[in-house]
Amino acid sequence: MFSCDSRVLDILQTLHTAGFQAYLVGGCVRDALLGTVPHDYDCATSALPDEILSVCSQYHCIPTGVQHGTITVIHDGLPVEVTTFRMDGDYHDHRHPEQVSFTPELAHDLARRDFTINAMAWSEHGVVDLFGGQQDLEQKVLRCVGTPEQRFQEDALRILRGLRFAAQLGFSIHSDTASAIHTCFPLLSYVSQERITTEFSKLICGRFAEEILLSYSDVVAFLLPELAPTMNFQQHNPHHCYDIYTHSVKAMSHTSPKLHLRLAALLHDIGKPDCFTMDEQGIGHFYQHASLGAKQADQLCQRLRLDNATRSQVVTLIQSHGIVFSPTEKLIRRWLHRLGEDMFFDLLELQEADQSACADGLSENLPNIRTLATEILAQKPCLTLKELAVNGHDAIALGLHGKAIGTALSHLLHLVVEGELPNERTILLDALKKMAGEYGSTNKKV
Ligand code: ATP
Ligand code: MG
């Protein structure tokens, strides 16, 4: 059963009526055959870019990449990438074909695609499946189109795309494709970091990432050498039943698929190998590994060219992953204020995942902290300057200026978070007045 947005069918029909071949291709065919809604649509056609533009003039057209043959055709808000059938020339640098040429043959266009499940086309006449993609979909197998080594030599990113699709779809990787991945992965050094990071991020957020990261640890160690020492590193500690890497991957698979959280879980113990000590009883310890790991993760995230927000979230989570929260209102309020609500709950999730991947499993403490934090938030406590019952205007009206305004308000917020003052305007104005007097006299002395 193949269901598809009617606006896409309109575009295919428009091209057919003008006498051109036109098919849906790639990921949208795969997803529709799997019964999931495609998140975007690619169409391949025998029409040349200028012909696409003139035939589709009733729609809004954006010449996204005319030299590659791609026009984005937008029909009632739905963008469809329409691309002239292409065939690739020779590859020389393991990432780009020397030249790309247009072809009137759908078969050529399908043959240059990476995996059989991504190399099918669909039109109203049915599925065009030249490489056994439908059977592979049914059997949940990921397999290269053509000879795997050659396809990975041409464009090494396909190695990582293969692992990514397997991690998203839960497919097994065909033995020939798998052994080519194990031999060809050093070719990934020819691929730009941005392309690698895009695929790797999708991989670790995949539902089935655990299995892939464990079975292809050689590829992971190549991409993230900081993780190599954690592989097979026995922890000699009764709380742990896995080596550091296996524990980290299992912890990662317990987190929800948000990039910063998954990365933090995967990397949370990278500081451990350098911090390992063994006591007289033969028990292993890893003092200070969170701080060291946070520093290593900071550099690693920079190398991956992740955005600053993600990097800072990863570093904070790793730095804080060993904090033991006491179940008291005052302390939880303090942490909610320090970390912000979202990061606080992300940290709890990381800690829960960390515990779940240990010998003893999840303790009762963390769910209790979660409940308490939820109850505290339901009371709408003041945790940020924005929520404070006085503001900068009040401070100015009372005679404060410059840096003193921020200092005074931050101090008031601290007192409110700690429960030493209520968040009530008259009381806070009194406190602010006092501070204005103190700062004023300090200023005069200076
Ligand atoms: P997603 O759901 O992540 O978008 P997708 O299969 O659509 O998956 P895209 O990166 O959007 O992936 O690529 C669209 C199609 O282009 C693929 O299905 C595949 O046929 C082809 N393709 C993309 N990248 C490559 C590549 N590096 N080598 C060969 N074919 C590729
Ligand atoms: Mg796509």
Residues 286 and 418 in one domain: no
Expressed in angstroms and rounded, the spacing between residue 115 Cα and the centre of ligand 1 is 9
Residues 58 and 109 in one domain: yes
Residue 443 has pLDDT above 80, yes or no: no
- Condensed to tens digits (0 to 9), the pLDDT of residues 35-47 reads 999 999 999 999 9
Expressed in angstroms and rounded, the spacing between residue 211 Cα and the centre of ligand 1 is 22
Residues 264 and 372 in one domain: yes
Expressed in angstroms and rounded, the spacing between residue 255 Cα and the centre of ligand 1 is 27
For ligand 1, atom 12: residue with the closest CA: 27
Average pLDDT over residues 244-257: 97
Expressed in angstroms and rounded, the spacing between residue 115 Cα and the centre of ligand 2 is 13
Residue 442 has pLDDT above 60, yes or no: no
Residues 26 and 145 in one domain: no
Residues 124 and 215 in one domain: no
Q: Which ligand is nearest to the CA of 202?
A: 1
Query: Which pLDDT band, with edges at 50, 70 and 90, does 444 fall under?
Result: very low
Residue from 118, 145, 202, 203 to probe ligand 1 pocket by mutation (most atoms less than 8 Å from CB): 118
Expressed in angstroms and rounded, the spacing between residue 174 Cα and the centre of ligand 2 is 22
Expressed in angstroms and rounded, the spacing between residue 254 Cα and the centre of ligand 2 is 27
Last residue of a domain, one of 119, 138, 157: 138
Residue from 82, 114, 129, 205 to probe ligand 1 pocket by mutation (most atoms less than 8 Å from CB): 114
For ligand 1, atom 2: residue with the closest CA: 27
Q: Which ligand is nearest to the CA of 83?
A: 1
- Condensed to tens digits (0 to 9), the pLDDT of residues 189-201 reads 999 999 999 999 9
* Range scoring the smallest mean pLDDT among 14-18, 95-99, 268-272, 287-291: 95-99
Residues 243 and 373 in one domain: yes
49 inside domain: yes
Residue 53 has pLDDT above 60, yes or no: yes
Ligand 1: residues within 6 Å at CB?
26-27, 42, 113-114, 118-119, 155, 157-158, 161
Give the whole-angstrom CA distance, residue 268 versus residue 265. 5
Residues 433 and 418 in one domain: yes
Last residue of a domain, one of 381, 400, 418: 381
- Those residues whose C-beta lies under 8 Å from the C-beta of residue 371, and which sit 6 or more positions away, are none
Q: Which ligand is nearest to the CA of 118?
A: 1
Residues 366 and 245 in one domain: yes
For ligand 1, atom 16: residue with the closest CA: 26
For ligand 1, atom 6: residue with the closest CA: 27
81 inside domain: yes
- Of all atoms in ligand 1, which is nearest to the CA of residue 202? 3
Expressed in angstroms and rounded, the spacing between residue 40 Cα and the centre of ligand 2 is 6
CATH number for 175: 1.10.110.30
- Condensed to tens digits (0 to 9), the pLDDT of residues 207-224 reads 999 999 999 999 999 999
Task: Give the range of the structural domain holding residue 347, as residue numbers without chain letter.
Answer: 239-381
For the chain, how many structural domains are there in total? 4
Expressed in angstroms and rounded, the spacing between residue 146 Cα and the centre of ligand 2 is 21
For ligand 1, atom 1: residue with the closest CA: 27
Q: Which ligand is nearest to the CA of 205?
A: 1
Residues 260 and 358 in one domain: yes
- Condensed to tens digits (0 to 9), the pLDDT of residues 148-174 reads 999 999 999 999 999 999 999 999 999
* Range scoring the smallest mean pLDDT among 3-7, 118-122, 152-156, 214-218: 3-7
Q: Which ligand is nearest to the CA of 79?
A: 2
232 inside domain: no
230 inside domain: no
231 inside domain: no
437 inside domain: yes
- Of all atoms in ligand 1, which is nearest to the CA of residue 154? 28
Residues 197 and 288 in one domain: no
Residues 396 and 362 in one domain: no
pLDDT given for residue 390 in this prediction: 96
Query: Which pLDDT band, with edges at 50, 70 and 90, does 446 fall under?
Result: very low
pLDDT given for residue 358 in this prediction: 87
- Condensed to tens digits (0 to 9), the pLDDT of residues 378-416 reads 999 999 999 999 999 999 999 898 999 999 999 999 999
CATH number for 49: 3.30.460.10
Query: Which pLDDT band, with edges at 50, 70 and 90, does 68 fall under?
Result: confident
**Which single residue is written with the structure tokens 């709890």?**
348
Last residue of a domain, one of 349, 364, 381: 381
